[in-house]
């Protein structure tokens, strides 16, 4: 019965849109010690919730005590490769592929609910379930690897030998025993180190060891305060997330476009012009990024990122919009706008910084302005 049930679940999951499916027993984590050491080393940065969730991550049955099986799932989000004219244009911001479309949490949760209803319908007994999409305290990469979805690569993403790494992980805990897929994943990174070499901030300290505090995805999304000055120049025009370690991965040459239309770029999310973003109001930000993963950074964090990208562009046309940004209600935006003006330099930038210094009251922003004035003087 369970073999037949497993086959039906696998077929339905793929029909719904989960290209990769693996099923394993719901058992304690085998990599929790490595994860705990990673936390102890401080590599999680300000993501304190990872520490709080540690006890729950030791065993998926902490989430569902009745769980007997774990269905590991992956859904492709690869859509298209933008033209080099867009990706190489420093006047445009680069947004990680996963955030081009509608929030994947909403899309995937709907599919998971559809699959759980199917399981409950065909099972010959009452079934309890618990779904997860990266927000739940589950070591989903470990279980994806155990279920044969792929292997955990040197950049810490999961890679499938046929599909590459452009996919989201998800899963369902179920209270019934199913046939399992305890098979070693096919493929490996071998001697390739392209992801390590390509990382602009050297965030991949060693194979499978990522220091989040250096990762541009962390800096542009999870970090809530100021971005360290030393890291800002390495961020280029990346304003939300970073795909560099995936873009250079040879396995992603195998990627094929997803069938899920919700992952395709929404208007304005594919390399938007930086000058169209820096002075957005809260209302404009909320409207533009409604139902988008970008809202996670919040307006202040997103405009902080845009200011850094403008500073890296160093074009005089950004001076007036950045001057306006130094009047923003958010100190975080004002401080990074000041830094950007310092990178651009020139008479107009120095004048804008001097004018703001006369009225600024926030200590961190004052420090940013003074440092920016020194930078602008050097560049003159």
Predicted confidence (pLDDT) at residue 1 exceeds the cutoff of 60: no
Predicted confidence (pLDDT) at residue 183 exceeds the cutoff of 80: no
- Residue 372: name the closest of 352, 362, 97 by CA: 352
Confidence of residue 212 (pLDDT cuts 50, 70, 90): very high
The mean per-residue pLDDT over the stretch 47-56 comes to 94
What contacts 117, CB < 8 A, 6 or more positions away? none
In tens, the pLDDT along 219-270 reads: 999 999 999 999 999 999 999 999 999 999 999 998 999 999 999 999 889 9
Question: With the CA atoms of 40, 43, 47 and 51 taken in that order, what torsion angle do they form, in degrees rounded to the nearest 10?
Answer: -20
pTM across the whole model: 0.95
Predicted confidence (pLDDT) at residue 2 exceeds the cutoff of 70: no
Cβ count within 10 A of residue 329: 8
SS3 assignment, position 53? coil
Share the mean pLDDT of the chain.
Answer: 95
Q: Which two tokens stand for residue 280?
A: 């957005």
In the numeric block, the tokens 């988008």 are attached to 292
The mean per-residue pLDDT over the stretch 286-307 comes to 97
Contact assessment for residue 179 and residue 32, using Cβ atoms and an 8 Å cutoff: no
Phi, psi at residue 25, to the nearest 5°?
A: -65, 145
Catalytic residues: 134
pLDDT of residue 243: 97
The mean per-residue pLDDT over the stretch 150-162 comes to 96
Confidence of residue 180 (pLDDT cuts 50, 70, 90): confident
Contact assessment for residue 67 and residue 247, using Cβ atoms and an 8 Å cutoff: no
Helices (H), 214-329: 216-217, 244-247, 282-288, 298-313, 319-325
In the numeric block, the tokens 């996919």 are attached to 167
Phi, psi at residue 22, to the nearest 5°?
A: -145, 145
pLDDT of residue 3: 67
CA angle 85, 266, 100 (to 5 degrees): 70
- Residue 115: name the closest of 220, 272, 10, 193 by CA: 10
In tens, the pLDDT along 9-24 reads: 999 999 999 999 999 9
pLDDT of residue 124: 78
Q: How far apart are CA 221 and CA 244, in angstroms?
A: 16
% pLDDT > 90, the chain? 89
In tens, the pLDDT along 70-124 reads: 999 999 999 999 888 888 999 999 999 999 999 999 999 999 999 999 999 998 7
Cβ count within 10 A of residue 137: 17
Helices (H), the chain: 2-16, 32-40, 48-52, 54-57, 84-87, 104-122, 140-146, 194-198, 216-217, 244-247, 282-288, 298-313, 319-325, 331-344, 347-357, 363-379
Contact assessment for residue 77 and residue 166, using Cβ atoms and an 8 Å cutoff: yes
């Amino acid at each position: 019965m369970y073999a037949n049930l497993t086959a039906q679940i696998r077929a339905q999951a793929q029909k719904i849109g989960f290209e990769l499916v693996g099923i394993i027993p719901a058992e304690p984590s085998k990599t929790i010690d490595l994860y705990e050491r990673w936390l102890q080393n401080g590599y999680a940065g300000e993501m304190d919730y990872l520490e709080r969730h540690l006890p729950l991550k030791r065993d998926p049955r902490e989430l569902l005590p009745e769980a007997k099986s774990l269905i590991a799932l992956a859904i492709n989000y690869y859509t298209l490769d933008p033209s080099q004219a867009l990706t190489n244009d420093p006047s445009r911001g680069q947004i990680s592929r996963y955030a081009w479309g509608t929030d994947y949490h909403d899309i995937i949760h709907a599919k998971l609910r559809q699959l759980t209803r199917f399981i409950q319908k065909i099972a010959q007994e009452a079934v309890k379930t618990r779904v997860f999409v990266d927000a739940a305290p589950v070591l989903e990469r470990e279980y994806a690897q155990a279920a044969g979805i792929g292997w955990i690569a040197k950049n810490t993403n999961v890679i499938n030998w046929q599909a590459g790494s452009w996919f989201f992980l998800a899963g369902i805990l179920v209270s019934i025993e199913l046939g399992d897929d305890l098979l070693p994943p096919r493929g490996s990174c071998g001697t390739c180190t392209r992801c390590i070499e390509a990382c602009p901030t050297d965030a991949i300290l060693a194979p499978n060891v990522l220091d989040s505090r250096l990762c541009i995805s962390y800096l542009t999304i999870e970090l809530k305060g100021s971005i360290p000055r030393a890291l800002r120049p390495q961020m280029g025009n990346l304003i939300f997330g970073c795909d560099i370690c995936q873009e250079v991965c040879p396995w992603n040459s195998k990627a094929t476009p997803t069938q899920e239309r919700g992952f395709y770029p929404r208007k304005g999310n594919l390399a938007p012009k930086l000058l169209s973003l820096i002075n957005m109001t809260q209302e404009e930000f909320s409207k533009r990024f409604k139902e988008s993963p970008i809202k996670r950074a919040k307006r202040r964090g997103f405009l902080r990122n845009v200011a850094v990208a403008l500073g890296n562009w160093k074009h005089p046309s950004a001076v007036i919009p950045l001057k306006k940004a130094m009047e923003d209600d958010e100190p975080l935006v004002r401080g990074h706008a000041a830094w950007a003006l310092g990178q651009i330099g020139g008479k107009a930038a120095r004048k804008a910084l001097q004018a703001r210094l006369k009225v600024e009251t926030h200590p961190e922003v004052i420090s940013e302005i003074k440092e920016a004035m020194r930078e602008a003087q050097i560049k003159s």
